[in-house]
Amino acid sequence: MVQYDFLDASFGALADPTRRGILERLGRGPATVSELAERFEMTLTGIKKHISLLEDAGMIVTEKRGRVRYCRLGENVFDREVAWLQGYRRMVEARMDRLGEFLERTEPDQ
């Protein structure tokens, strides 16, 4: 059986609007944990939990410089997820094509 554990982590991380907002914000450039906490009106502890989930899913990378932790988007973020979605889409489209062909063959002449 094919394992898609990365999808569980990715879609779980994307399920929360705050985490989607963090990704959107980091899409414009790196930010500190404190900046993100302020932006989302959260405590440092609360924002760190969101950051940890995003980091575990491979969507962001954090780096500590001195006493400050910086966050940025991960490399090739969403490449695996997009590849999976495209494969799934091809499968669904092929099934729809077969259904269309079947309906054409079985449609009574008018």
Residue type for 33, please? V
The better pLDDT of the pair 104, 25 is held by: 25
Q: How far apart are CA 97 and CA 27, in angstroms?
A: 37
CA distance to 11, 79, 82, per residue, from 20 (Å): 11, 17, 16
Q: What is the CATH number of domain 1-74?
A: 1.10.10.10
Boundaries of every domain in the chain: 1-74, 76-109
Greatest mean pLDDT range, 4-13, 67-76, 79-88: 67-76
Q: 């399920």: which residue's tokens?
A: 15
**Which range, of 37-41, 56-60, 80-84, 105-109, averages the lowest pLDDT?**
105-109
Determine if the pTM surpasses 0.85.
no
Residue 4 has pLDDT above 70, yes or no: yes
Across residues 14-38, what is the average pLDDT?
97
